[in-house]
Amino acid sequence: MWIMRQAGRYLPEYRQVRAQAGSFMTLCRNPELACKVTLQPLERYPLDAAILFSDILTVPDAMGLGLYFEEGEGPRFERPVRSLRAIADLSSPDIASELRYVTDAIGLIRHELAGRVPLIGFSGSPWTLATYMVEGGSSRTFHRIKTLLYEHPQALHQLLEKVAQAVADYLNAQVEAGAQALMIFDTWGGVLAHEAYLEFSLEPVRRVLEALRLNTSEGRIPVIVFTKGGGLWLEALAGVGANAIGLDWSVDIAAARQRVGERVALQGNLDPCVLYAAPAVIRREVQRVLEAYGPHPGHVFNLGHGIHPEVDPDHVSAMIEAVHEFSNHIHDSARGR
């Protein structure tokens, strides 16, 4: 098990480093501090993986859009992609220079981990990154990018092609720097209509996966693809070329396993808000997820989305202890012990 957003604002030690850095992006761009934050959850909890501390929007920032964070409003871009000319003029980022702080952080983290657990690298999906690039930040309606999708689909394909290539280059650079697994976060795929999801979200992810160089001296790098709200498309996701599918909390994990069989592993999928509840409730809900999956291989326990900033760190401990206890009991019972 590991936890999406496992290094973050719910940890007091993270908040101290964040205050020291002065801003979120300064923290991301400082390899030493990013390494320190990445390791903090492992110093507190017995987790099975580290995940690089960074942000999915580093790629469009490196493409010249000018990422900044507005207090209370989240990420914003100084120069959003708002015209067909802007799409045509968009250039690929120089990963080696513009995103060197990420690959430098990976090298430091691998050194500090010293083989204790694997390191997961990640990126946003092309569609998810494109939504921020066109909207200029977060959105409730996605009206700008959906207008582009329906009125100028070829222009959106052009944008997604450029972003997909940048994402593939970025993930390949992470692998070269030492990432031992990869995750693609398709946070906003679930806002699309059925056919639009397959064409504008899943297909660009497929192109990214086809462009990845996953064979390394340490073995083949596994890839997880997570679409929030993606329960409608599990069969299609299972065929996209990833090794595992992340499930949000709206999906029944037993039904998901029946639908995809042994084609892929499954990651998930406890509702993050369960961690607001008392430890006894947390134990009950963890048990429910594990028993639903059963004593089968290929389950990576995780939340159904990122951990919330207000969560009590002791409640995370209760979740992890319950995963270990109930998982061992389920598998031991299946083996007749």
The residue annotated as part of the active site, out of 5, 76, 110, 283, is 5
Beta-strand ranges (E) seen in the chain are 50-51, 67-70, 74-77, 119-124, 181-186, 215-216, 219-220, 223-227, 244-246, 265-270, 299-303
187 labeled binding residue:
yes
Q: Report d(CA 81, CA 135) in Å as an integer.
A: 8
- Cβ of 86: how many Cβ atoms within 10 Å? 16
The residue annotated as part of the active site, out of 9, 79, 100, 284, is 9
Annotation marks residue 18 as catalytic: yes
DSSP 133: H
The residue annotated as part of the active site, out of 14, 45, 132, 293, is 132
Annotation marks residue 48 as catalytic: no
C-alpha closest to that of 67 among 56, 78, 59: 78
C-alpha closest to that of 61 among 40, 45, 75, 42: 75
The residue annotated as part of the active site, out of 44, 55, 82, 259, is 55
314 labeled binding residue:
no
Annotation marks residue 9 as catalytic: yes
7 labeled binding residue:
yes
227 labeled binding residue:
no
Look at residue 271 and give its three-state secondary structure: coil
Which pair of structure tokens corresponds to residue 318?
Answer: 């209760």
The residue annotated as part of the active site, out of 14, 18, 186, 283, is 18
Q: Report d(CA 268, CA 130) in Å as an integer.
A: 25
5 labeled binding residue:
yes
132 labeled binding residue:
yes
- Cβ of 203: how many Cβ atoms within 10 Å? 18
For 5: left if phi > 0, alpha if psi spans -120 to 50, otherwise beta; the answer is left
Annotation marks residue 220 as catalytic: no
Q: Report d(CA 120, CA 224) in Å as an integer.
A: 10
306 labeled binding residue:
no
Residue type, 104: D
Binding site members for substrate: 5-9, 55, 132, 187, 305
Which of the residues are catalytic? 5, 9, 18, 55, 132
Binding site members: 5-9, 55, 132, 187, 305
